[in-house]
Amino acid sequence: MNENAMPVPAESREVMDVGPVYDAELVDESQPFYSQPRLGRFWSWWLRSPRVPVWLKDRGQARQAVKDAVVAVGRSPWRYLRAVVRGLVAAVRWWRRWVTVRDYREAAESSEKLADKFTEIRALTLFRWKVTGALTVATMVALALVELLYGARGLWSAAVLVSLALAVLGRRRDGSPGRKAVLAGPRTLTWTMDPQVLVDAFRDAKLVGKDETLRLVERATRVGDGWAITVDLPATRKAADVIKNREALASALAVDEVQLIVERVRGNGGHAGRVSMWVADADPYATPPLRTPLLAVARWDAWRPVPFGRDARDRKIDLPLVWTSLLVGAIPRQGKTFAARLAAAGLILDPHTRLYVADFKAGKDWDAAAKVAHRFMSGDETSHVLALVGWLVELVGEVQGRYRRMRDLDDTICPESKITPAMSRDTALNMPITAVFLDEVQVPLEDRTPVEVEGKKLTAGEYVGELLTWLAKKGPAAGIVLVLATQRPDSKTIPSGLRAVLGSRFALRVMDWRDSNIVLGEQMNTRGYDSSRLLASHKGVGILRPDGETQAGADVLALTVRTYYMPNEDWHELCRRGRALREAAGTLTGHAAGQDTAPELDHVSVVRAIGTGQRPAELRPVLPEPLASVVAYLGEDLDEREFIPTAELVEALDVEPNSFGRAMADLGCPSTRDRITGEDGQPRRVRGYHTASIRAAITRRTEDQS
């Protein structure tokens, strides 16, 4: 008996085998997915088959195909007439070459026997003229007979046949004389209706060979204020080479390079040789910029990407900030601060975020943020750099504390060692999204003030670089967001270790490709992304390399973006809204709440200035340059050595000798001559500085600041 059989009522005492019983769910489906299975299978094959043209699968492509057909029909009479004219010109050229015995004459000239063949050439020329005359008379007689037998209808039929022959002869073919215009003229929109022009442009840019062609994947369609098309390159040709040589392709298409967007199609629908192109009708960045859409919202969620700008196709580009960091680089007056403030605006409108804002430009661009910032300062003095060190040390301790608290949470609240939206809004956990905005970050990174950290001697700039690198590595998972802006994007200003761990990059116009690579990453210029080629008139336009998915796709390496426009009045309005939201939610803390106290640094070693005793870092004297650099270089040798040669200091500090000597003399450390023992053991007189005079200058500086 089947073990799955269903028993009948007990009183019948009989068992009937009804077969296996399955678990199932009753579904009430009034309209089946496929009312006709065969039609459904055919439709599935139709949508998936590569043999079916794309315009037969997609409505947008079909509409564009109909438009192209209508235009082609409207243009066909003119195209036919041009083909007939080209064929007539080609026929006349061929007849002229034949009747003048050009081939025979050129052969005689190449063999240097033209004089010997002159009689034969003349005789052959006369013969061909006679043949031409005979054929002309025969043609006229034939036309007369046709007109006599068939009337005007016969003449029209003959004319149609002749025009067809001339049109076939005059069709455009590469390398054929008389069939390609010498001056092609602007080709901005020609390629949209004549794919051969697009192929010629790729050949002119040397992106495909003379005997190679392109395969149309998606026909040219209108997208925004431009045309979009997708093509497949010949075998072994790579889309990366097209992106790299975008300027040459733009020249071949007779458009400015800012009007041409070239992207590789990735994912299931793409491959290494598939290229998506978009050509704008005009400069997409010549129009006035758009105001930030954040003005129209009451509040924002920090976990949502922040509205950042629009690309050339007018697609909205949002910038993800949580779990990543951002570096903004540009030369002055290109919109660097505006871009950083756009990133801050979305976080300001979230009352559950905490902001650290340091403006080392010492201007008033960020003053409105003081209404919402937990920590805020504006200045470029050494004291501000040391205050930043305190902030960063505080944040390092905060990150370490968050990771310790995460280990104690259950897997429901904290499934991974990462902060979640619920955790960031739980006031009991005290783990809000914390964003650090440093404008003109090169100022603290270049500060040469000597400090000592756990027995290690280094400059304040080096210590700031180490702290920022640590936070960029471990901070994002704990909810720390770094946004650094600089107008000096060079390898000396921003350490390579720090740049390597900054996720998102935004490069506005810079001076050369090296600076562009410092911001965007190594070899980015060879991939076609070089912000030094941006026009000076395009304010707020830069190349964005996002760390995360944008509206342009998850596989886009970089894209050109025009940031939203946010003038000062809008910035102040958003900061006022942010303060009101924090007051309502009870999350106003620190500087904004009037509680701007120095960070507690008990959990780390005290930072001490070299040469100033055991005074805490916040009370140490501020040494001017180049005295601070000299003290940092000497370290303990300041007390152990008596004399330092000038040549040694100039080489170690990489300074100009004359200006260095004048600056040291102004600080009360004049150079003098003294004897030292050389490598050969012989004493010699050199110019340098007595360490006693350097210590005396430090003492005077200490007394002046006491």
Are 224 and 341 within one domain? no
Are 332 and 271 within one domain? no
Chosen domain end from 280, 306, 334: 280
* pLDDT per residue as tens digits for the range 507-556: 999 888 888 888 888 878 877 888 888 888 888 899 999 887 666 555 67
Q: Note the pLDDT of residue 9.
A: 45
Question: pLDDT at residue 212 above 90?
Answer: no
Q: Which two tokens stand for residue 676?
A: 């030292």
Is 107 within a domain?
yes
Residue 27 identity: V
Are 240 and 348 within one domain? no
Are 493 and 585 within one domain? yes
Model confidence at 660, pLDDT cuts 50, 70, 90, reads confident
Nearest-10 Cα torsion for 529, 534, 538, 540: 40
- In this prediction, residues 259-271 reach a mean pLDDT of 83
Task: Give CA–CA dist 702/117, Å, rounded.
Answer: 106
Task: Give CA–CA dist 383/630, Å, rounded.
Answer: 19
Strand 433-439 vs strand 480-486: parallel, antiparallel, or unpaired?
A: parallel
Q: Note the pLDDT of residue 638.
A: 76
Task: Give CA–CA dist 82/60, Å, rounded.
Answer: 32
Is 510 within a domain?
yes
| Range of weakest confidence among 156-170, 471-485, 618-632, 689-703 | 618-632
The total of structural domains in the chain comes to: 4
Model confidence at 192, pLDDT cuts 50, 70, 90, reads low
Phi-psi region of 406 (alpha: psi -120 to 50; beta: other; left: phi over 0): alpha
Are 158 and 195 within one domain? no
Start-to-end CA span in the chain (Å): 103
Is 12 within a domain?
no
**Across 162-176, 547-561, 638-652, which has the greatest mean pLDDT?**
638-652
Q: Note the pLDDT of residue 30.
A: 47
Helix axes 152-169, 59-99, angle to 10 degrees: 100
Q: Note the pLDDT of residue 597.
A: 62
Question: pLDDT at residue 605 above 60?
Answer: no
Contacts of 310 (CB under 8 A, 6+ apart): 290, 316, 317, 561, 562, 564
Three-state SS letters, 197-235:
HHHHHHHHCCCCCCCCCCEEEEEEEECCCEEEEEEECCC
Q: Note the pLDDT of residue 5.
A: 45
Are 300 and 231 within one domain? no
Would you call 499 helix, strand, or coil by DSSP? helix
Q: Which two tokens stand for residue 314?
A: 């007018």
Is 16 within a domain?
no
- In this prediction, residues 579-587 reach a mean pLDDT of 93
Closest CA to 262 of 212, 228, 306, 214: 228
Q: Note the pLDDT of residue 484.
A: 94
Instruction: Tell me which DSSP letter residue 345 carries.
Output: H
Are 356 and 494 within one domain? yes
Chosen domain end from 280, 309, 324: 280
High-pLDDT (> 90) share of the chain, % = 24
* pLDDT per residue as tens digits for the range 281-321: 888 888 888 899 999 999 999 999 999 999 888 889 999 99
Range of the domain at 433: 293-593
- In this prediction, residues 239-257 reach a mean pLDDT of 87
Question: pLDDT at residue 127 above 70?
Answer: yes
Is 513 within a domain?
yes
Are 276 and 300 within one domain? no
Contacts of 67 (CB under 8 A, 6+ apart): none
- CATH number, domain containing residue 196: 3.30.980
What are the angstrom distances between the C-alpha of 705 and each of 448, 451, 697, 701? 19, 18, 13, 6
Indicate the average pLDDT of the chain: 80
Q: Within a 10 A sphere around the Cβ of 670, how many other Cβ atoms? A: 12
Q: In the chain, count H helices and then E strands.
A: 22, 19
Q: Which two tokens stand for residue 6?
A: 């269903």
Q: Which helix (H) or strand (E) covers residue 461, if one does?
A: helix 460-474
Q: Note the pLDDT of residue 562.
A: 92
- In this prediction, residues 86-98 reach a mean pLDDT of 83
Q: Note the pLDDT of residue 27.
A: 47
489: cis peptide before it, omega within 30°? no
Question: pLDDT at residue 258 above 70?
Answer: yes
* pLDDT per residue as tens digits for the range 434-452: 999 999 999 999 999 888 8
Q: Note the pLDDT of residue 368.
A: 94
Question: pLDDT at residue 495 above 50?
Answer: yes
Beta carbons of 264 and 243 less than 8 angstroms apart: yes
Helix axes 646-653, 657-666, angle to 10 degrees: 110
Model confidence at 200, pLDDT cuts 50, 70, 90, reads confident
Are 275 and 377 within one domain? no
- CATH number, domain containing residue 679: 1.10.10
Chosen domain end from 250, 280, 310: 280
Is 446 within a domain?
yes
Model confidence at 47, pLDDT cuts 50, 70, 90, reads confident
Is 40 within a domain?
no
Q: Within a 10 A sphere around the Cβ of 190, how many other Cβ atoms? A: 17
Task: Give CA–CA dist 520/524, Å, rounded.
Answer: 7
- CATH number, domain containing residue 304: 3.40.50.300
Are 503 and 375 within one domain? yes
Separation of CA 433 from chain center: 26
Residue 227 identity: W
Q: Note the pLDDT of residue 385.
A: 92
Is 219 within a domain?
yes
Beta carbons of 411 and 402 less than 8 angstroms apart: no
Task: Give CA–CA dist 79/703, Å, rounded.
Answer: 91
Structure-model confidence comparison of residues 267 and 92, the more confident one: 92
- In this prediction, residues 400-420 reach a mean pLDDT of 88
Beta carbons of 292 and 570 less than 8 angstroms apart: yes
Are 445 and 473 within one domain? yes
Are 553 and 638 within one domain? no
Model confidence at 606, pLDDT cuts 50, 70, 90, reads very low
